[in-house]
Amino acid sequence: MHQEKLQQEKLKAVKVRLNFEEVSRHFESRTPRRRKDLRKSFKSKHIRSTSESPEPRHGRSESPRKKGPERETVFKRLEKGVFYKLGDKEKSISNVTPTPVLDEFIALSGKTEIPKVMKIFFEQQIAKDEAFTKYIRDKIDDVKASLTRVRTTIREMESKSDKDAWKDAIDCFKETKDMLELKMSRSTQFADENFDGVKELKVHSAIMDLCE
């Protein structure tokens, strides 16, 4: 139990350094020589992980990847907002070119299957982004309240009979109004984009289910 908890803490430290762009980058094409060298590194880690795996339990369903080519799964991944077809699952996984951070991530995953580890990463990122989106929307509500007060104040000053004496104050409040309107518009756009990003991360999490 202690060892498992320690392993999870190590995984969490790695996840801080691992961003989605870096995870996507390892799928990109590399030069043949570079790919060959990195495949050797990945293969050695895979052999070491396999040698430590426990014997399969009786009565447990066989892994989909061992059920033959009929279980080939075609899936997609998202890179910079665009989905790309990667082909069948087994070929895609065998062609993965690990990066230094991904190597460490794989090593720390131990006996846990990589798709499950990545699903945990996506779910944690989803929770963080959802909390951040809520924070932004709360700030937008604050800006709306301030904007309402400023607009009301401008109307009251302009309704005065001696409004010329209030000209400087009115001009200042109008500039403040413009600034708050711009701030609210940009914050709303950013919150919407972040919300769309959460939906894309949920798609990634679902893709990891297809990889199991």
pLDDT one-digit tens code per residue, 131-188? 999 999 999 999 999 999 999 999 998 888 887 888 889 999 999 999 999 999 999 9
Eight-state DSSP code of residue 53? P
pLDDT of residue 41: 53
Cα separation, 124 vs 20, in Å, equals 12
Nearest by Cα to 143 from 89, 190, 91: 190
Q: In this structure, are residues 163 and 170 in contact, taking their beta carbons and an 8 Å threshold?
A: yes
The C-alpha atoms of residue 79 and residue 74 are separated, in whole angstroms, by 17
As a whole number of angstroms, the distance between CA 154 and CA 159 comes to 9
Q: Per-residue pLDDT tens for 48-89?
A: 555 554 555 554 455 444 444 444 443 344 444 434 333 444
Domain ranges of the chain: 2-51+65-111, 128-199
- pLDDT of the residue at 14: 55
Q: How many CA atoms lie within 13 A of 50 on its CB side?
A: 6
Of the candidates 111, 1, 100, the one whose C-alpha atom is nearest the C-alpha of residue 48 is 111
Dump pLDDT digits (tens) for 2-11: 666 666 666 6
What is the structure's pLDDT at 183? 93
108-141 tens-digit pLDDT:
555 556 677 778 888 888 999 999 999 999 999 9
